[in-house]
Amino acid sequence: MWIYEKKLEYPVRVYKTDPRMARFLSAQYGGPDSELSAGVRYLTQRYTMPTNKAKALLTDIGTEELAHWEIIATMIYQLVKDLSPEQMIREGLGAHFAEHDRAVYPADAAGVPWTAAYIQATGDPVTDLHEDMAAEQKARTTYEHLIRMTDDPGIKDTLRFLREREVVHFQRFGEALNDVQEELTRKKIF
Amino acid sequence: MEQRQMQMLREIQQLEFAAVELNLFLDTHPRDREPLNDLKTVVDRLHQLKEQYEGMCGPLTVQGFTPESYPWRWVEGPWPWEMVY
């Protein structure tokens, strides 16, 4: 089960000099390589992992991804909360305002709603862990794009933290993959 | 939120992040003693800090440290997405 802790994993400081970023940050809120995709993917794949280490890792990283999902939502929420409709239209957020006002919504940077088609759970742990490693690389790359797109120092700092986490997650999934492969080999021999 | 409370929250965030890092490392290295010892140190300090912080600012989790205090403080803001650091 899940317990919610009433704090962000890392602070969000939005200097509000770059409201356009709200639209682009959506990529990590509801896009294909978003924190939402990561969280749902890992929390879904964990049920059919063959080793305790993999079950634990997917549960824990999946949970951390939801905490990141909250951080992205916070950035978007703070960027748009004081904007007038006219300002939103000017900053490329008109379509969002029409359908969502200043609400946060899980869609990608172009407004395409999130879908489970972004994730897989094949039931083959070697396949799933390879997907997870690829997912972490895709998320890292997306963060690198986003970091380049803004000069707001607060946003950049939080994005750098999130990017660094992807690198660490990739490392851990690689270790879990090795462990699973060893386990499967061991089962075959004996 | 006051300066002092914000400083405590920042320290809790930093320590808890260290705990998450150690947690993930231990998931793939469950027999390493050093990270396990480090985690114990971090968690002990976290418990102390959280108790202090929750006394001032209300619970961080629904169970919290002072569930019996009146009125029910869990509903109080600021909520995490409203905080200005």
Each residue's pLDDT tens digit, A57-116: 999 999 999 999 999 999 999 999 999 999 999 999 999 999 999 999 999 999 999 999
Measured in degrees and rounded to the nearest 5, phi and psi for residue A58 equal -65, -35
Q: pLDDT over 90 for what percent of chain B?
A: 76
Cα distance from N-terminal residue to C-terminal residue, chain B? 9
What pLDDT band is residue B1 in, cutting at 50, 70 and 90?
Answer: confident
> Within a domain: residue A129?
yes
Residue B40 has pLDDT above 90, yes or no: yes
The interface pTM score, or ipTM, of the predicted complex is: 0.95
Asked if B56 reaches chain A (Cβ–Cβ under 8 Å), the answer is: no
> Within a domain: residue A7?
no
> Within a domain: residue A70?
yes
Contact predicate B74/B61, CB 8 Å: no
What pLDDT, in 10s, does the model give residues A130-160? 999 999 999 999 999 999 999 999 999 999 9
What pLDDT band is residue B67 in, cutting at 50, 70 and 90?
Answer: low
Provide the residue range defining the domain that includes A30: 21-114+121-189
The CATH number given to whatever domain includes residue A69 is 1.20.1260.10
Provide the residue range defining the domain that includes B44: 3-79
> Within a domain: residue B74?
yes
> Within a domain: residue B73?
yes
Looking at per-residue confidence, does A66 or B72 come out higher? Answer: A66
Place of tokens 């879908």: A115
- Which residues in chain B are closer than 8 Å to A3, comparing Cβ atoms? 61-63
Total count of domains within chain B: 1
Total count of domains within chain A: 1
- Which residues in chain A are closer than 8 Å to B84, comparing Cβ atoms? 13
Residue A190 has pLDDT above 70, yes or no: no
Asked if A53 reaches chain B (Cβ–Cβ under 8 Å), the answer is: yes
> Within a domain: residue A14?
no
DSSP string, chain A: -----SS-SS-----SS-TTHHHHHHHHHHSTTSHHHHHHHHHHHGGG-SSHHHHHHHHHHHHHHHHHHHHHHHHHHHHHTT--HHHHHHTT-HHHHHHHTT----B-TT-PBP-GGG----S-HHHHHHHHHHHHHHHHHHHHHHHHH---HHHHHHHHHHHHHHHHHHHHHHHHHHHHHHHHHHHHH-
On whether the pTM is more than 0.90, the answer is yes
Q: Which residues are A113's β-sheet partners?
A: A107
